Amino acid sequence: MLKIKAYEEDSFSFYKEIVKSKNKTKAKPDIKEQLAAISDTQSQYFDDYDDAFDKNSLALMLSMPYSDNDKVNLKSLYNYRNQRIQALKNTLTKHPHYKEHILNTCQNCTINEVDSMDHVLGQTEFPEYSVHPKNLFPCCTACNRKKSDNYTKEDGSLLFLNLFIDDLPQSQYLKVDFDANWMPRFYLEQPDNVTDNVFNLIKSHYEQLDLLQRFRGSSSGIISTLKATIKSFKGLDINIGDKIDEQCKDQELFLGYNHRQIVIYRALGSSDDFIHECMG
């Protein structure tokens, strides 16, 4: 996982562009007029969101008392295929450290390609933020479906990481063991230098999105690639474990310190049994 850069331009200007692109329909011939009637209110709400975003207090946000008609109009503004939404997705999926690279992998899971935008605060309760650019996180359909409209527990505590905001530890919390045939079994373990609050949020994120099991089912390609890499070292006078460790260090900034590929490489690169089997 990587923390990605949030939208840096004016949020309400983005909203106004979406409204401008909205087409009238037979059912809603005056939708633009209806949206214009709440423009000043929306402007204030967007400022409120930006302020809460900067203070990392989105969990305290309350939904606004719009009429049912206004809520329907506001929700209708979101369309993943909208040209401006796609432009936002392209901006947000630039790698945070390597601008020339597109990071078109869902950072909520690091498994699937980005093919949707998750509403951090769900549209059902917060239609006023259906097209707020800092409320739209590029993700895969699987994570979007699992998260749904959820963001906090009943007690107000967070269920998910917000990878626009939350800093990720540079200590290993994702661990792996191996069953027969090197089938991985992932688990979480709290490092000494990671606070309970941070670790509990990470744990909740992994549990809600079923990441440990999903990692297990999506790691065969990673292991096969590592086997081929180790086999290519056959006959060379090198320390294979050190070589794999160097590769992990090279990839940490690109993939994230606790990416499952790096975790697998670290574990198997230090396994004499695995290296011997690859060389056999």
| Confidence at 26, pLDDT banded by 50, 70, 90 | confident
Write out the DSSP string of 13-67: HHHHHHHHHPPP-SS-TTHHHHHHHTHHHHHHHHHHHHHHHHTT-GGG-------
Question: What is the spatial distance between Cα 26 and Cα 276, in angstroms, rounded to a whole number?
Answer: 70
- Rounded Cα gap, residues 231 and 277, in angstroms: 9
Query: Quick one: pLDDT at residue 99?
Result: 84
4 pLDDT higher than 90: yes
pLDDT surpassing 80 at residue 214: yes
pLDDT at 201: 97
Can you say how many angstroms the Cα of residue 61 is from the centroid of all Cα atoms in its chain? 21
CB distance 164 to 137 below 8 Å: yes
User: What is the number of other CB atoms lying within 10 angstroms of the CB of residue 195?
Assistant: 10
Residue 62: pLDDT band with limits 50, 70, 90: very high
**Inter-CA distances, 18 with 26, 88, 100, 112, 163, Å:** 19, 11, 27, 27, 24
pLDDT at residue 6 greater than cutoff 90: yes
pTM, two decimals, is 0.93
pLDDT at 234: 82
* pLDDT value at 216 more than 80: yes
The pLDDT score that the predictor gives to residue 156 is 83
Question: Residue 102's pLDDT band (boundaries 50, 70, 90)?
Answer: very high
pLDDT over threshold 80, residue 280: no
The whole-number average pLDDT for the span 108-126 is 96
Contact 262, 219 (CB under 8 A): no
Q: What is the pLDDT of residues 141-172, one digit of tens each?
A: 999 999 999 999 888 889 999 999 999 999 99
For residue 122, give the nearest of 104, 89, 157, 146 by alpha carbon: 146
